[in-house]
Amino acid sequence: MNDNTQFMTIRQFAKQNILPEFAIRTLAKKGEIPGIFVGNRFYINAPKFKNQLNGCGGSSGNVEIDNRTA
């Protein structure tokens, strides 16, 4: 595994105001988010998920992610 991979909990990822926590939990249960379950916690592979969101298409266009840290 790459040492630069950053895993985040659902709540940590939701605090970045990219997606609401409920939406992230729903996607995690469906298996549509790159990450792993450790016990009952889901850890999101944040860089990979952000790339997945930036690459998605649809009628609304692409979702742009602000990579600045607070």
Is residue 47 assigned to a domain? yes
* Distance in angstroms (rounded) separating the CA atoms of residues 70 and 68: 7
Cβ contact 10:24 at 8 Å: yes
Q: Tell whether 62 is covered by a domain.
A: no
Residue 68 covered by a domain: no
Examine residue 33 and state whether it is found in any structural domain, yes or no: yes
Write down the pLDDT at residue 36.
93
Task: Please tell me the predicted confidence (pLDDT) of residue 55.
Answer: 86
Instruction: Provide the pLDDT for residue 27.
Output: 92
* Tens place of pLDDT per residue across the chain (70 aa): 555 669 999 999 999 888 899 999 999 999 999 999 999 999 999 999 988 888 864 444 444 555 555 4
Domain tally for the chain?
Answer: 1
What is residue 44's predicted lDDT score, i.e. its pLDDT?
95
- Residue 17 is part of which domain span? 7-55
Please report the pLDDT score of residue 2 as a whole number.
Answer: 55
Q: What is the DSSP letter of 43?
A: E
Q: What is the dihedral of CA 25, 31, 12, 9, to 10 degrees?
A: 110
